[in-house]
Amino acid sequence: MASLVSFSSPSSFVSRSRYDYFSQSQGRIDFLKNGWCHGPSPSPSPRPLVVSVNCLSSGPGQDSESEPETTASAIATNWTDKLRAGLGGLGFVETTYLTYLKLTNSDAFCPIGGGSCGDILNSDYAVVFGVPLPLIGMVAYGLVASLGLQLSRKNLPFGLDEPTGRLIILGSTTSMAAASAYFLYILGTKFSGASCSYCLMSALLSFSLFFISLRDFGLEEIPKVVGLQLCIASLVFVTLNTSYSTSQPISSSLAEIDLPYFTTEITTTSSPFAVSLAKHLNSIGAKMYGAFWCSHCLEQKQMFGLEAAKLLDYVECFPDGYRKGTQMAKSCTDAKIEGFPMWVINGQVLSGEQELSELARVSGFKYNESS
């Protein structure tokens, strides 16, 4: 880029007819032209028109280096926005499922340690001022997922600019991380001995989204938003603490359960296939681990029917009932139970209810109708 162009020429009116030669030397360009006139008479000796050009160039590599750096930064930011949208979408799906369980009073999958997610989901800690906690989480995850997706497309709603959108996401993820930290404390103190896979997954997603959003601001800008984050976290703690201190504890809380052992009745009739499969599973040493209070365990037995269920090698993990501090039977602990029901067939672990056809496939059972 030329920053200075100076002309050295006669002060009077100059006309020109043609160029005689052109020369360039180190930023100085000379044009020597014939037929130059000073006023009405031609000049006996033409004077050159001297054009001094001083170029301030940024160098051949500067633009080419800055452009890839900008492109790489934009790609990284776009990838981060898509990752945030993906994690937010995963959290939205999880909390939608938990909201459905909460509103329909359904049981969730039974976790390790004897307590179920249903016990925690139905406790007084699953409601904030009368609003189901999973429903609040569903809204929060949905907001983060939608804003993350729109940031990746550079198309924010309501006329929001990008910095404002990122600030909203930071505030949302800060509140989610603060709430997760509070509930982890509740889980460890009020529900000792229980494990909730959904709670842990939600906490992992919340903290991941928080750190991803914090990364958008960089080290230099983080001190500017620390005050806002502390205010949001304090507000979350005060809100939750106020809600739970004003609510009455319910007797069905997992921390207060004292559940004697009881048996459940199987009402279905076994098919020939179910009877043959149960005999085969027993013969190869397949085991089904469960708990007497687990509805999924009962449903698995109902699939087999009364006659076939009696043939299964079923292991009860709480033969003496369940109460606070109760440990699982040693055989269940040794099997490293991941949830109820759990099958161990030829060294392969299957968690949750299984279709009879799947159990037949895994165990290598071939049903012969004629037999």
DSSP 223-237: HHHHHHHHHHHHHHH
CA atoms of 174 and 186, how far apart (whole Å): 19
Q: Exposed/middle/buried for 125, CB within 10 Å: 0-12, 13-18, 19+?
A: buried
Output the pLDDT for position 117. 66
CA atoms of 176 and 88, how far apart (whole Å): 11
Q: Dmax over Cα atoms in the chain, in whole Å?
A: 128
Residue 146 three-state SS: helix
Output the pLDDT for position 192. 63
**Cα–Cα separations (whole angstroms), residue 191 to 130, 277, 310, 339:** 21, 39, 34, 17
DSSP label of 276: H
CA atoms of 147 and 90, how far apart (whole Å): 14
């452009």: which residue's tokens? 67
DSSP E strand stretches across the chain: 2-8, 18-25, 28-34, 37-38, 41-42, 49-55, 127-128, 131-132, 258-259, 287-290, 314-316, 322-323, 342-345, 348-351
Q: One digit per residue, pLDDT tens: the chain, 371 residues?
A: 444 444 444 444 333 444 444 344 444 444 444 444 344 444 444 555 444 444 444 444 444 444 554 565 556 567 788 888 899 999 999 999 888 888 887 766 655 544 456 667 777 788 888 888 999 999 999 999 888 888 877 777 777 888 888 888 888 999 999 999 998 888 888 776 666 788 888 999 999 999 888 887 776 777 888 888 899 999 999 999 888 876 544 434 444 567 889 988 999 999 999 999 999 999 999 999 999 988 899 999 999 999 999 999 999 999 988 877 678 899 998 888 877 899 999 999 998 889 999 999 999 998 876 55
Q: Which helix (H) or strand (E) holds 168?
A: helix 162-189
The answer, yes or no, to whether the previous bond of 68 is cis (omega within 30 of 0) is no
Evaluate whether 51 touches 7 at the Cβ level (below 8 Å): yes
> What is the Cβ-side half-sphere exposure of residue 99, based on CA atoms within 13 angstroms?
16
Evaluate whether 218 touches 82 at the Cβ level (below 8 Å): no
Contacts of 18 (CB under 8 A, 6+ apart): 33, 34, 35
CA atoms of 87 and 75, how far apart (whole Å): 18
Output the pLDDT for position 70. 52
Output the pLDDT for position 191. 72
CA atoms of 202 and 90, how far apart (whole Å): 9
Output the pLDDT for position 112. 53
Residue 348 three-state SS: strand
Output the pLDDT for position 317. 93
CA atoms of 112 and 196, how far apart (whole Å): 8
Output the pLDDT for position 278. 96
DSSP label of 340: B
pTM: 0.48
| Amino acid (1-letter code) at residue 162 | E
Evaluate whether 306 touches 271 at the Cβ level (below 8 Å): no
CA atoms of 145 and 141, how far apart (whole Å): 6
Output the pLDDT for position 62. 46
| Amino acid (1-letter code) at residue 305 | G
Task: State residue 367 phi and psi, 5-degree precision.
Answer: -90, 125
Between CA 299 and CA 204, with CA 324 as vertex, the angle to 5 degrees is: 75
